């Protein structure tokens, strides 16, 4: 028996925790863990860990590969989140930076970090058990079987907590942030598992988006990265520039030049390829050219609102997303803002 790892089920952003009474079949609320989405396949002989972006993560988490056969009672396919916690006992919190360091080409470095900052797996769905494919069964049944499957399983495997109480979920949204979690997820109880579909609802503390680095402009001082241009894929698969990230420190601007160098597009003579940035009525004769990058690097940014198909203001860098594929960065992930009559605002 060998499991095929599917694309994970996804979520759309919402501004507030939804009302379960307005969803046929009801909702189950879960904390939103801040880690790498992971699908773990244990077929009784080998362990494979897939990611949201279809990148294999197996080699980066040897401590999980070792623990899974020892702890699980039998073959299964789990969906969940890989996280790393740091801090003193009683004051631990999720540590995204420590987790990101695990994506390293050197096996020796990965082995060292697996001992210094070991990862945990927080399971929240069961997609297969033995020879039985559970993806067409309702989530309520999959959750019940997950609880039975992981009953008594020890660290580093855990099962996420849940509630059907919206008031409790609202409290989680604010309280759990202190532990490094970044929101709440609402899951319809009567729905099957839908790979790649945004049928879940996520509520986060702020608007964020995963975007693709398209290029950078040199700082006005003539040295270092002044701003990083970012883009999103539209419904037709076209990568569109949506804004820029700036406000780097002097030191960071210089470091970014070296870090981005492997991604710079070059011509046949080895020279960096320049792109022409979008002009506005405010740019005038300003040089808007930029150094083009191969669209491979993903970063998460914070933004306030969209204006048309672009971010309204300069966005703020949040973190690199080495676990994400560039093609997965689409407009679909963005929060849809409900329309509101300006006359009602003016009053």
Torsion of CA 157, 326, 34, 29, to 10 degrees: -90
Q: What does the alpha-carbon distance between residue 280 and residue 218 come to, in Å, rounded to a whole number?
A: 19
Residue 210 tokens read as 């995963």
Strands 208-218 and 289-292, bridge-based pairing: antiparallel
State the maximum Cα–Cα separation within the chain, in Å, rounded to a whole number. 67
**Is 32 an annotated catalytic residue?**
yes
Find the catalytic residue in 32, 187, 202, 204. Answer: 32
The residue count for the chain: 347
Instruction: Output the 3-class SS for the chain.
Output: CCCCCCCCCEEEECCCCCCHHHCCCCEEEEECCCCEEEEEEECCCCEEEEECCCCECHHHCHHHHHHHHHHCCCCEEEEEEEEEEECCCCCCEECHHHHHCCCCCCHHHHHHHHHHCCEEEEEEEEEEECCEECCCCCHHHHHHHHHHHCCCCCCCEEECCCECCHHHHHHHHHHHHHHCCCEEEEEECCCCCCCCCEEEEEEECCCEEEEEEEEEEECCCCCCEEEEEEEEECCCCCEEEEEEECCCCHHHHHHHHHHHHHHECECCCCCECEEECCCCCCCCCCCCEEEEECCCCEEEEECCCEECCEECCCEEEEEECCCCCHHHCEHHHCCCCCCCCHHHHHC
Residue 33 tokens read as 């863990």
The residues annotated as belonging to the active site are 32
């Amino acid at each position: 028996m060998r499991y095929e790892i599917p694309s994970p089920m996804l979520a759309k952003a919402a501004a507030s925790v939804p009302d379960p009474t307005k969803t046929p079949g009801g909702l189950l609320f879960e904390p939103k863990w801040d880690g790498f989405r992971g699908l773990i396949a244990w077929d009784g002989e080998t362990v494979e860990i897939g990611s949201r972006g279809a990148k294999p993560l197996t080699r980066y988490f040897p401590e999980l590969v070792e623990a899974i056969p020892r702890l699980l009672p039998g073959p299964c396919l789990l969906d969940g989140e890989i996280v790393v916690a740091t801090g003193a006992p009683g004051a631990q919190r999720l540590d995204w930076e420590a987790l990101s360091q695990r994506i390293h080409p050197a096996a020796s470095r990965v082995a060292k970090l697996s001992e210094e900052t070991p990862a945990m797996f927080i399971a929240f769905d069961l997609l297969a058990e033995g020879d039985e494919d559970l993806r067409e069964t309702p989530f309520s049944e999959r959750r019940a079987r997950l609880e039975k499957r992981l009953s008594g399983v020890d660290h580093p495997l855990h099962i996420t907590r849940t509630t059907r109480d919206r008031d409790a979920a609202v409290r989680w949204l604010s309280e759990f942030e202190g532990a490094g979690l970044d929101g709440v997820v609402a899951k319809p109880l009567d729905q099957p598992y839908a790979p790649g579909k945004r049928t879940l609802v996520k509520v986060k503390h702020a608007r964020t988006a995963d975007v693709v680095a398209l290029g950078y402009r040199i700082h006005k001082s003539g040295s270092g990265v002044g701003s990083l241009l970012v883009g999103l894929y539209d419904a037709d698969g076209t990568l569109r520039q949506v804004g820029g990230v700036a406000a780097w420190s002097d030191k960071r601007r210089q470091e970014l030049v070296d870090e981005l160098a492997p991604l710079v597009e070059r011509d046949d003579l080895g020279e960096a390829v320049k792109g022409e940035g979008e002009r506005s009525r405010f740019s005038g004769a300003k040089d808007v050219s930029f150094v083009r990058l191969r669209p491979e690097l993903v970063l998460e940014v914070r933004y306030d609102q969209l204006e048309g198909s672009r971010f309204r203001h300069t966005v703020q860098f949040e973190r690199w997303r080495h676990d994400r594929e560039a093609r997965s960065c689409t407009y679909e992930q963005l929060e849809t803002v409900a329309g509101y009559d300006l006359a009602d605002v003016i009053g």
